[in-house]
Amino acid sequence: MKTKEVIRRSQLEKITKSNEKWIKSINEIKLYEALFATSIWEKARTIGLTISSNNEIDTKPIILQARMQAKKVFVPRIRVRHQMDFFQLRNDTVIKKNGFGIYEPQGRNGLILKEDIDLMIVPGIAFSSEGDRIGFGGGYYDRYLSNFKGATVSLADPLRLYKDRVWILDETDRQIDKIVTVEG
C-alpha cells in the first residue's frame, strides 16, 4: 500500500501529462451519459458540485443538464478550518477564482443546508471501484460528507480509476456511494 500523497503526486503527473484531449472529451461524454442514466441523478432535485478547473472532469455540461432539467445547482465556497458551504448557482451569481485556483460563488445569497442537498458530485484524482477516493489533499469533502445524508457520486475516467485501492485510508476518509465510469 502507498500513501495518498504518493498516489496524489503520481496521479497529478499522469493527468497533467496526458495530452490526448480528444480521448478526454470522449471519455467525459461517456461519463455524462452514464451519470444522467442513473436513478440517483433522476431522483435528485438539488445537486452540489464544484465548478471544474484544471485536472478535473469538466462539470459545465453537468451544470447545463441539471438546469435544463430544472434541478437546482449548488457550488462550494471555502471557509476557515477546511470547511465549506454550498451556494446556489444562478444566472446572476458572480464567480471568482480563489487562491487555490478553485472557482467560488461570491455573496451570501443562496446558501443551502447540507441536509437539503440530494446529490453531491464529489471531485477527486483517484478512485477505487469500491468507492474510495483521493481528493486534492485539503480534506474539505471528507469533512463535509462526515454527516451528509444525500447520495454521493464521483466520475472516474480511466486515468483516475483503480480496480482495487492501492493507498492507505485515513480514518476521516468517506466512501462514495457510486463511482460512475466510462462503462457505466
Residues making up the binding site for ATP: 4-8, 133-141
Reference 102, options 70, 69, 56; nearest CA is 56
| CA–CA separation, 122 and 155 (whole Å) | 8
60-68 and 21-36 helices, crossing angle to 10°: 30
| CA–CA separation, 73 and 117 (whole Å) | 9
Feature table: binding site: 4-8, 51, 56, 133-141
| CA–CA separation, 27 and 57 (whole Å) | 10
Feature table: binding site for substrate: 51, 56
| CA–CA separation, 43 and 100 (whole Å) | 33
